[in-house]
Amino acid sequence: MEHTRDRLIRYIQDAQAAEVGIARTLEGFLDDGDNEMVRSLLRDHVAVTKNQANRLEQRLRTMGAETSAGKGFFNSLLGRVSEIMHGAHDDYDKVTQNLIKAYATEHLEIGMYTALIAYARACNDEETATLAEEILAEEEEAAERIFPLIEQCAQATYLAAVHDETRGMGYRA
Ligand SMILES: [Fe+2]
Cα(67) to centroid(ligand 1), Å: 16
Cα(131) to centroid(ligand 1), Å: 12
- Nearest residue to 117 (alpha-carbon basis) of 94, 138, 135: 135
Single-letter amino acid code for the residue at 148: P
CA distance 131 to 83: 30
Cα(10) to centroid(ligand 1), Å: 17
pTM of the model as a whole? 0.89
Q: Cβ distance 45 to 24 under 8 Å?
A: no
Q: Cβ distance 52 to 17 under 8 Å?
A: no
Cα(52) to centroid(ligand 1), Å: 6
Single-letter amino acid code for the residue at 115: A
CA distance 132 to 60: 13
Q: Which burial class, exposed, middle or buried, applies to 18 when counting CB atoms under 10 A from its CB (0-12, 13-18, 19+)?
A: buried
What angle, 0 to 180 degrees and rounded to 10, lies between the N-to-C axes of helices 126-166 and 91-122? 170
CA distances from 109 to 14, 82, 105, 119, 160 (A): 11, 15, 6, 15, 33
Cα(42) to centroid(ligand 1), Å: 12
Cα(50) to centroid(ligand 1), Å: 8
Tens of pLDDT along the chain (173 residues) come to: 789 999 999 999 999 999 999 999 999 999 888 889 999 999 999 999 999 999 999 999 999 999 997 777 777 777 777 776 666 778 888 999 999 999 999 999 999 999 999 999 999 999 999 999 999 999 999 999 999 999 999 999 999 889 988 887 655 44
Side-chain-side CA neighbours of residue 161 (13 Å): 14
Cα(170) to centroid(ligand 1), Å: 40
Cα(130) to centroid(ligand 1), Å: 15
Cα(19) to centroid(ligand 1), Å: 5
What angle, 0 to 180 degrees and rounded to 10, lies between the N-to-C axes of helices 4-29 and 91-122? 160
Cα(135) to centroid(ligand 1), Å: 7
Cα(86) to centroid(ligand 1), Å: 21
